[in-house]
Amino acid sequence: MAKITFITTDNESIELEATSGSVMQLAVDNDVPGIDGDCGGVCSCATCHVHVKPEHMEKTGEASEIENDMLELDDHVNEYSRLCCQLEVSEALDGLVLQVAESD
Amino acid sequence: MSLNFSKDKICVVIGASHAGVNFAFSLRKEGWEGRIILFDKDPVLPYHRPPLSKAYLTSADAIDKNLLKSAEAYDKSGIELSLGVTINTIDRVAKHVVLSDGRLQTYDTLVLATGARPIIPPIKGLREASNVFTLRTANDVERIRKAMSTSVHKKVVIIGGGYIGLETAASLKKLGASVTVLEREERILARVTAPEMSDFFEKLHASNGVEVLTNKNVVSIAKQANFNQVMCADTTSYEADIIIVGVGVHVNVALAEQVGLDIANGIKVNEAAKAATDIYAIGDCTSHYNPHYDRFIRLESVQNAVDQAKIAAAAICDKKPVYNSIPWFWSDQYDIKLQMVGLSTGYTKALLRKEEGTQIKFSIWYFKNDELLAVDAVNNAKAYVLGTKFIKNKTKIDQLKLVDPFSEFKPAALMIK
Ligand SMILES: Cc1cc2nc3c(=O)[nH]c(=O)nc-3n(C[C@H](O)[C@H](O)[C@H](O)COP(=O)(O)OP(=O)(O)OC[C@H]3O[C@@H](n4cnc5c(N)ncnc54)[C@H](O)[C@@H]3O)c2cc1C
Ligand code: FES
């Protein structure tokens, strides 16, 4: 079981729990504003962009090449950016805090 | 305050897939306080279609791993889902729809999100043949998986070399089938891409052991005791335990026709996805005027379904949105990810940019003279996002630098100042 907190662009904090699936799916199932997941989780849409809380980067690891490339020209990208469809829920993510990125 | 924010209003949506479902949630977000009722004849909780021919087909997952939204999400947003219900009639004067069980549902605003359905070509013997499938619904996948698991020889013939046919070929190959794709045109993907891409995908399938044959016009199918014999106009024939038909779609416009909406390759809508007074249409079933390409187009893509859904929701809530998206699409086959942006129709020149290294990684850039129309990127998300930016901004590009793999792949390095 992992507890994951999303902070929306309106600064609302949404705390959710899951045991499996992707972090994007968790957000979409709970209607977290700003996470759309249009492509279903295959790195094709970039509508699941989040910023990992800097001190939690260890939990998630760095973005993969395709995530970086998809976000390269995004106005809101930074070194903590991830496409959260690429984050698989597991114990390791327990306590994770994610800021939903603004969309262009 | 506008009447559209009244609790007494009812918005009825016909079709609960990518367009209808996204519309319903967007409408709520835009502030609509009345009822939102989604109807779909498909009894399954709405799901993502793209994975049906890709990862979902090869997985053992049940459809609940592939849903657009969880059941709770509809509840939470007060969206009523009425599944397994077909709408057969619309009465525009009385402002109600007639359900398959004869009940009436009134509406104030009606949204048509009826999508499209697979074409069943008039091939002699097709209806009598065994194990013939199309691929559009969760139920189709269930039936294909079952046929695959019980088939001894797993010989599959796929009629049609479009994206769905090719993705299905790759997926069934992965499940252990021997697969032959029969394409009527002289190259696969002929309607949607340049010869260079067709060539690439033909070779890709060949190298993965899938037989892709072109100029193969299937004329008849003869059912034998244990298999089907698929016959082509050139007198060749192919054995098939399983036949997948992927030759394109018919747009679902019967309801729109019934009420006299303007139809030309889809339901004609304006820049706000409006088809007529109190009626909107979104997604695969529409033909919209695209300001960027200056013509009417009908798209079959998640992007178009989602974007038009948002536009219609905003328009109903009295915003003045204008649909002006650049189309994008993707296809996953084997370990190849194709990402497309723009529309290449009418291009005069296709330029290849190949990245250095051993990995397959390239992009094709379609120009009409010096205007960039579209980009097809293979394992190259960077090219895809660059192309998106350039097309949106109508940026003029240095074509010599573009094709030089040593020139930096960045906006500043490629644009003409
Ligand atoms: C196998 C496959 C792979 C695909 N891959 C991709 C891809 O990689 N990328 C991409 O962008 N797009 C892809 N697409 C296309 C994408 O899925 C469609 O563009 C999208 O589903 C369109 O959504 P829609 O809601 O407009 O229409 P549809 O998804 O067709 O939904 C229409 C719905 O309306 C319902 N309906 C119709 N008439 C009635 C009626 N009278 N009463 C009740 N219900 C009715 C239908 O049951 C259906 O559920 C793929 C499609 C398929 C089938
Ligand atoms: S869901 Fe599309 S990129 Fe993550």
Mind listing the pLDDT tens digit for each residue in B91-104?
Answer: 999 999 999 999 99
- Which ligand has the nearest atom to the CA of A39? 2
Q: How confident is the model at residue B201 (pLDDT cuts 50, 70, 90)?
A: very high
Mutation for testing the B interface, residue in A22, A30, A31 having most B CBs under 10 Å: A31
Q: What is the CATH number of domain B3-117+250-316?
A: 3.50.50.60
B69 Cβ contact partners less than 8 Å away, ≥ 6 residues apart: A28, A29, A31, B21, B25, B46
The C-alpha of A70 sits at a distance from chain B's nearest C-alpha, in angstroms, of: 6
Residues A88/A45, Cβ–Cβ less than 8 Å: no
Listed range (A83-87, B131-135, B205-209, B358-362) with the worst mean pLDDT: B358-362
Average pLDDT over residues B9-23: 98
Give the strand pairing for B104-106 and B96-99: antiparallel
Average pLDDT over residues B253-268: 97
Q: What torsion, rounded to 10 degrees, do the Cα atoms B91, B96, B97, B103 define?
A: -120
Q: Which amino acid is at B77?
A: S
Give the strand pairing for A49-52 and A81-83: antiparallel
* The predicted structure's pLDDT at residue B3: 55
Entry pTM: 0.97
**Which residues in chain B have Cβ-Cβ distances shorter than 8 Å to A66?**
337, 381
Rounded CA gap, B212 and B180, in Å? Answer: 6
The label of the residue with tokens 């020889």 reads B153
* A2-100 under CATH 3.10.20.30, yes or no: yes
Whether B337 sits inside 8 A of A72 (CB atoms) is: no
Whether B50 sits inside 8 A of A39 (CB atoms) is: yes
Q: What are phi and psi of B194, to 5 degrees?
A: -75, 160
Mutation for testing the A interface, residue in B30, B69, B326 having most A CBs under 10 Å: B69
Mind listing the pLDDT tens digit for each residue in B389-399?
Answer: 999 999 999 99
> How far apart are the CA of B66 and the centre of ligand 1, in A?
14
Q: How confident is the model at residue A10 (pLDDT cuts 50, 70, 90)?
A: very high
* The predicted structure's pLDDT at residue B1: 44
Tell me how crowded residue A17 is: count the other CB atoms within 10 A of its CB. Answer: 12
Whether A40 sits inside 8 A of B50 (CB atoms) is: yes
Rounded CA gap, B202 and B184, in Å? Answer: 14
Rounded CA gap, B127 and A38, in Å? Answer: 36
Ligand 1 atom nearest residue B88's Cα: 41
Residues A80/A100, Cβ–Cβ less than 8 Å: no
Mutation for testing the A interface, residue in B58, B64, B68 having most A CBs under 10 Å: B68
* B335-414 under CATH 3.30.390.30, yes or no: yes
Q: Which of B70, B306, B381 is opposite residue A69, by nearest beta carbon?
A: B381
**Which residues in chain A have Cβ-Cβ distances shorter than 8 Å to B171?**
none
Using DSSP, state whether A4 is helix, strand or coil: strand
Quick one: what percent of chain B has pLDDT higher than 70? 99
Ligand 1 pocket residues where CB is under 6 Å: B 14-15, 17-20, 39-42, 49-50, 52-53, 86-87, 113-116, 135-136, 164, 252, 255, 283-284, 300-303, 305, 329-331
At residue B372, does pLDDT exceed 50? yes
Whether residue A5 has its Cβ less than 6 Å from ligand 2: no
* The predicted structure's pLDDT at residue A99: 98
Average pLDDT over residues B115-139: 97
Domains B3-117+250-316 and B132-247 are alike in CATH topology: yes
Rounded CA gap, B307 and B19, in Å? Answer: 8
Write the CA distances from A104 to A28, B144, B181, integer angstroms: 19, 40, 41
* The predicted structure's pLDDT at residue B417: 79
**CATH class name, domain B132-247:** alpha beta
Mind listing the pLDDT tens digit for each residue in B334-355?
Answer: 999 999 999 999 999 999 999 9
Listed range (B73-82, B190-199, B238-247) with the worst mean pLDDT: B190-199
B4: closest CA among B374, B229, B383, B315? B315
The residues spanned by each domain of chain B are 3-117+250-316, 132-247, 335-414
Q: Mean pLDDT across chain A, nearest whole number?
A: 96
Q: What angle do CA B186, B328, B40 make, to 5 degrees?
A: 95
Residues A26/A16, Cβ–Cβ less than 8 Å: yes
A95: closest CA among A51, A62, A56, A54? A56
Neighbouring-strand partners of residue B182 = B159, B213
Q: Mean pLDDT across chain B, nearest whole number?
A: 96
> How far apart are the CA of B94 and the centre of ligand 2, in A?
42
Q: Which of A29, A30, A39 is opposite residue B330, by nearest beta carbon?
A: A39
Average pLDDT over residues A46-60: 97
